Amino acid sequence: MDINETKAIRSTLLEETGKCRACRFCVDVCPTYQASEGVESISSYGRLQILKYLINGLIDEDDPILYPLYTCLQCGRCDIVCKGKGQNLEVSNLIRLGRSLLSQDLVRGGKNEDL
């Protein structure tokens, strides 16, 4: 991934996470949330908030709070619900994009200055 791709992903995440209305309709259908018996950070909405904090510089890319991004099953249930409620955020894709940004840090073996 070159620097332009990194910037494009960052821009997409910034724009799209800002569109979430916090209605939380997507939370109950998320299988990891169901399995956690109510831990919101392990839900679609929770992951979106984590991405928002990351992309706005409120947490570092090595913060343990990012862990739920890696527990998303990519099932797409949240996408269907969000679309049905008229907001149409591709939450699973945003989570995947967030993972790809963070993976650049691992590849480089240190802090990702582009994040």
Task: Provide the binding-site residues for ligand SF4, judged by CB under 6 A.
Answer: 20-26, 29-32, 44-45, 47-48, 72-78, 81-82, 85, 87, 89, 91-92
Lookup: tokens for 74: 């990519």
Cβ at position 109, least distance to ligand SF4 in Å? 28
Nearer to ligand SF4, 31 or 114 (CB): 31
Q: Which is nearer to ligand SF4, 7 or 34 (CB)?
A: 34
**Closest to ligand SF4 by CB, 80 or 114:** 80
Distances (CA, A) of 98 to 35, 42, 84, 105: 23, 15, 24, 12
Q: Nearest distance from residue 28's CB to ligand SF4, in Å?
A: 10
Minimum Å distance from CB 69 to ligand SF4?
9
Report the alpha-carbon distance of residue 103 to residue 24 in Å, rounded: 28
- Residue 77's identity, in one-letter code, is R
Closer residue to ligand SF4 (CB): 70 or 111: 70
Biggest CA pair distance of the chain:
41
Q: How far is the CB of 40 from ligand SF4 (least distance, A)?
A: 11
